Amino acid sequence: MSKKHCPPRHPGLFWVAPIQGGEHPGLSNSLSRQSPDKNSMRTRRKTGIFFLVVVLASAIGALIVVQLSRHPVPEYHSSIVELNNPLTLLSEADRLSWLANWGAAGPLYDRAEVLFQAVGDRRNEIHARVGRIRARSGAMSWEEVSRTLGEQLNDPIAKADPRLRLWCLAAKGYTDLDLDTGSSKKAWTEAFQIATTSGQSQWAARASGELGIIAFLEGRTASAVSLVGRAVLSAYRTGDIGNQVRLLSMLGNGFIEEHRFSEAISFFQRAISTAEKTPDAGFPFMAYQGEARALVKPGRSLKTSASIEP
């Protein structure tokens, strides 16, 4: 039976819709599936959501103002992809996927994988394959995606190459959060260590954010605030657009859970604006979906400043 991409009955703070030409796969209805003691866990998470959202919202609001005043929108230089040059294809695919544009990155990873295989470049073949798997994960079950990514991680080449291993670990971490929190935590912990050791600050920040989400699911709210807070600040400080859009959307979902719909809409619209003013950024599906959820709540007017074109 093929996997159906249906929203959960009670979307949680960190639910992420499947890829629609944009955002990467990963977080689904993890919150609703992680509660052995439903009543106590629900109360603790409700309190945790409020605390996490308020603290991060205050920090991100101030930081946005400061960063926008310091950094103009970068000038875009279009690139011509050489379809028979696998290194160029891989570089462009990585650029697009970093912007959460997996729909555009997927075909490039697919083509690069074939070309690297033809010339016997196993290292880059694995890199392209992992990108292709993530981009096409909507057509596979999460279990199959996780298993296939695990096979790439166990390849001796991936074990010996820190940068390649980091790439594989991140893919595994995003995927396994929906399946096995412990496995996701293990992947992101190693990814954080590699990123920190190798000086890849943006990857370290992304890993910190994911470990913060896991800490929240485990009920460690204070740790979650610290880890996710650092990820939010880093995303703006380093210009990580993909993570900015994702974190803004997640904060918006948090406000919805607290029935603070006006604040939620504000964060969703920031996410949408950030994505739309960034050339080649992925479609901010989670933000649009969240804004729609907030607008259709009882007593709210069905009016928004942005609409999804058919």
Task: Give the pTM.
Answer: 0.71
Predicted confidence at residue 308, as pLDDT, reads 40
Residue 143 has pLDDT above 80, yes or no: yes
Q: Which amino acid is residue 196, in one-letter code?
A: T
Contact at 8 Å (CB) between 208 and 231? Answer: yes
What is the overall mean pLDDT for the chain?
Answer: 78
Distance (Å, rounded) from C-alpha 152 to C-alpha 154? 5
pLDDT exceeding 90 applies to what percent of the chain? 50
pLDDT at 150 over 60: yes
φ, ψ for residue 22, nearest 5 deg: -150, -95
CA–CA gap between residue 53 and residue 14 (Å, rounded): 12
Q: Dump pLDDT digits (tens) for 190-247.
A: 999 999 999 999 999 999 988 988 887 788 888 877 887 888 889 999 999 999 998 8
Label each residue of the chain as H, E or C. Answer: CCCCCCCCCCCCCCCCCCCCCECCCCCCCCHHHCCCCHHHHHHHHHHHHHHHHHHHHHHHHHHHHHHHHHCCCCCCCCCCCCCCCHHHHHHHHHHHHHCCCHHHHHHHHHHHHHHHHHHCCHHHHHHHHHHHHHHCHHHCCHHHHHHHHHHHHCCHHHHHCHHHHHHHHHHHHHHHCCCCHHHHHHHHHHHHHHHHHCCCHHHHHHHHHHHHHHHHHCCCHHHHHHHHHHHHHHHHHCCCHHHHHHHHHHHHHHHHHCCCHHHHHHHHHHHHHHHHCCCCCCECHHHHHHHHHHHCCCCCCCCCCCCCCC
Looking at residue 161, its pLDDT comes to 97
User: Is the pLDDT score of 292 beyond 60?
Assistant: yes
- The share of the chain scoring above pLDDT 70, in percent, equals 70
